[in-house]
């Protein structure tokens, strides 16, 4: 039997709530964070376009098991629509496709906002990651094909004007569900107002359960980063290499369990925790113990232990976490 290769990096776990700068892709951001933390494993909870800035939650180690719960969380964006021009990508990157000399008033814009809140049907942009017959829409669009993307249901809890700097631009804030395209909002509002429009600024400020105060910048991460061990003139490591101190960098992590605030929390004692670590169910005792729950998470000594479900007063683990 072939031997497994040794994992590269540290077994560090937790969430980096990265304030992604404009111009950096989401995959590039994950690679950068993984390298800075020298982590074994990393992944992100929801792509953010290179032209957008703001919150990109990045999971390290065991936190990657909780990514789906963050991806399903409500998002908050601040964005600027520039009126008078619709573009092929519905943002600054594309070519103009329609223009208008008309400019909407604040009153006109406010009048249409109720139509974009609640559960609505939305057609994603031509340049999007939606798959059409197995191919990404943006790949087809780059080849010059115009594809019919079916409308899909999204939920918008809140859409409001936050600034009206001049007749050409309006700044909004939107709170919305997973799968909402803010670029589509700009396109559709522009069409309804008869003036056309596209996104000229886009920033994500919340991905539930994380908030703007959790953001950490690349500069802050690099400042806390421990330098690599010194090397000689030929590039060889100098022995013995000093131990790198990642404590300042690790202090910027948010605990893995923070991603599961949406689930019922079950605190286990040491004996129960040991049974769950072995994959066994445990009986939940106490007057307030829930009898049933489709999903719940168990903690031991304040640390996330497992995700599972509760059935007939028993917690049954589905995914167990190693110690962080």
On whether the CB atoms of residues 111 and 151 are closer than 8 A, the answer is no
d(CA 177, CA 156): 6
On whether the CB atoms of residues 194 and 181 are closer than 8 A, the answer is no
d(CA 45, CA 205): 14
Longest CA–CA separation in the chain, Å: 72
Integer angstrom CA distances of residue 48 from 59, 67, 205, 308: 15, 15, 11, 30
- 49 carries an active-site annotation: yes
What does the CA dihedral 249, 251, 255, 261 come to, rounded to 10 degrees?
-120
d(CA 188, CA 202): 16
Catalytic residue among 19, 49, 90, 188: 49
Report strand pairing: 152-166 vs 169-176.
Answer: antiparallel
d(CA 69, CA 204): 18
Sign of the torsion angle spanned by Cα atoms 15, 18, 23, 28 = negative
Active-site amino acid positions: 49
């Amino acid at each position: 039997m072939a031997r497994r290769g040794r994992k590269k990096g540290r077994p560090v776990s937790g969430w980096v709530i990265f304030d992604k700068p404009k111009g950096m892709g989401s995959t590039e951001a994950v690679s950068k964070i993984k390298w800075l933390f020298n982590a074994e494993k990393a992944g992100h909870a929801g792509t953010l376009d290179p032209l957008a800035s703001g919150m990109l939650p990045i999971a390290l180690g065991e936190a990657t098991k909780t990514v789906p719960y963050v991806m399903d969380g409500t998002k908050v964006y601040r964005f600027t629509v520039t009126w008078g021009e619709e573009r092929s990508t519905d943002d600054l990157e594309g070519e103009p496709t329609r223009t208008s000399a008309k400019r909407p008033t604040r009153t006109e814009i406010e009048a249409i906002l109720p139509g974009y809140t609640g559960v609505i049907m939305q057609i994603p942009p031509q340049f999007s990651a939606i798959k059409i017959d197995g191919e990404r829409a943006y790949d087809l669009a780059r080849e010059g094909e115009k594809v019919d993307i079916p409308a899909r249901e999204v939920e918008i809890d809140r859409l409001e004007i936050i600034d009206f700097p001049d007749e050409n631009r309006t700044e909004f804030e939107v709170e919305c569900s997973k799968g909402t395209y803010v670029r589509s909002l700009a396109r559709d509002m522009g069409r309804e107002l008869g003036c056309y429009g596209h996104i000229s600024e886009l920033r994500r400020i919340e991905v539930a359960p994380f908030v703007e105060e959790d953001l950490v910048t690349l500069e802050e991460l690099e400042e806390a980063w421990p330098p690599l061990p010194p090397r000689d003139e030929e590039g060889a490591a100098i022995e013995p290499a000093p131990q790198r101190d990642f404590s300042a960098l690790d202090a910027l992590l948010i605990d893995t369990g923070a991603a599961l605030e949406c689930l019922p929390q079950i605190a286990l004692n040491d004996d129960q925790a040991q049974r769950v670590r072995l994959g066994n169910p445990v009986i939940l005792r106490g007057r307030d113990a829930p009898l049933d729950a489709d999903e719940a998470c168990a903690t031991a000594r304040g640390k996330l232990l497992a995700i599972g479900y509760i059935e007939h007063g028993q917690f049954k683990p589905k995914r167990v976490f190693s110690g962080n």
